[in-house]
Amino acid sequence: MAITLNNGFKMPIIGLGVWRMEGKEIRDLITNSIKLGYRHFDCAADYKNETEREDLFITTKLWNSDHGHVVEACKDSLKKLQLDYLDLYLVHFPVATKHTGVGATDSALDDDGVLDIDTTISLETTWHAMEDLVSLGLARSIGISNYDIFLTRDCLAYSKVKPAVNQIETHPYFQRESLVKFCQKHGICVTAHTPLGGAVANTEWFGTVSVLDDPVLEGLTEKYKKTVAQIVLRWGIQRNTVVIPKSSKVERLKENFEVLDFELSKEDMDLLKELDRNYRTNQPAKFWGINLYA
């Protein structure tokens, strides 16, 4: 099952996120996930796992410190991935930071321990460099990530090649209905990079509450004979968003992929809509000393 992007290319609706996985772990993960049917893999320079990717539907991202070096950064990713082109290349965050070398993913901090933001490079400049990747044949599709409505609107206004995707955090506790609908209205596919709310990983890193423990969701498991995670992923798919859950366990990979054989009723979709808390679980401010979402 796939979503057709605004340039005609198809993107599998279920993918695999690989944040915090490296080395042999990622090789085994890819091998197992391909056997299970996965064809869409989401990586990034910042994840330091690009060298383990295979040529399927590959998404990777431009890191903050390379906004002034887009073509070089893309070529660096392609070299690590051993690919001729990317299926999708995203601007990881809507912020340019101090350059630390092409492909380097350290977040430079100033003397006060705050992210060293580069105020000389506009997002428009970055986007036009992204557009060059398409004309050069280095990326079939380009997109944005972690952009709100205002930044997405601006990108639509100054772009010659429209963003095909906006990858954002969205799950039942952080539904972002206005942003999702805005993107879809304007032909931008929404990908949920934290479709399960980060689960245990974000609880450990950021102290956030997991949507997977919600009693309302737990109450639906018997009705559908599915796990809470499967219900949440199915909810995302029925919103016409691409979901890219992350797991390193084979049984979880299999479970997360088995979400196309059932459908949530309208009543239960409405029930899940009531769970929204406007609750973000991914908090990079912990590392950057600044809240970019404030």
Provide the strand spans (E) within the chain. Answer: 2-4, 10-12, 16-17, 40-42, 57-62, 86-91, 139-145, 165-168, 189-192, 242-243
Q: By three-state DSSP, how is residue 75 classified?
A: helix
Predicted pLDDT of residue 47: 40
pLDDT tens track, the chain, 294 positions: 899 999 999 999 999 987 656 566 777 888 889 899 999 999 865 444 444 454 589 999 999 999 999 999 999 999 988 889 999 999 999 999 999 999 888 888 988 899 999 999 999 999 999 999 999 999 999 999 999 999 999 999 999 999 999 999 999 999 999 999 999 999 999 999 999 987 666 666 667 888 999 999 999 999 999 999 999 999 999 999 999 998 888 999 999 999 999 999 999 999 999 999 999 988 888 889 988 887
DSSP per-residue letters across 20-53 = T--HHHHHHHHHHHHHHT--EEE--GGGT-GGG-
Q: Residue 108: how many CA atoms within 13 Å on its side-chain side?
A: 16
The answer to whether 92 is annotated as binding is yes
Predicted pLDDT of residue 1: 87
Q: By three-state DSSP, how is residue 130 classified?
A: helix
> How far apart, in Å, are the Cα atoms of 44 and each of 12, 81, 238?
18, 11, 26
Q: Using CA atoms, how far apart are residues 87 and 106, in angstroms rounded to an integer?
A: 25
Predicted pLDDT of residue 55: 54
Contact 146, 94 (CB under 8 A): yes
Q: Using CA atoms, how far apart are residues 106 and 46, in angstroms rounded to an integer?
A: 8
Nearest to 61 by CA among 151, 156, 166: 166
**Exactly one of 47, 89, 147, 173 is catalytic; which is it?**
47
Q: Tell me if residue 224 is catalytic.
A: no
Contact 197, 213 (CB under 8 A): no
Contact 47, 20 (CB under 8 A): yes
Q: Using CA atoms, how far apart are residues 272 and 213, in angstroms rounded to an integer?
A: 14
17 is written with which tokens?
């996120």
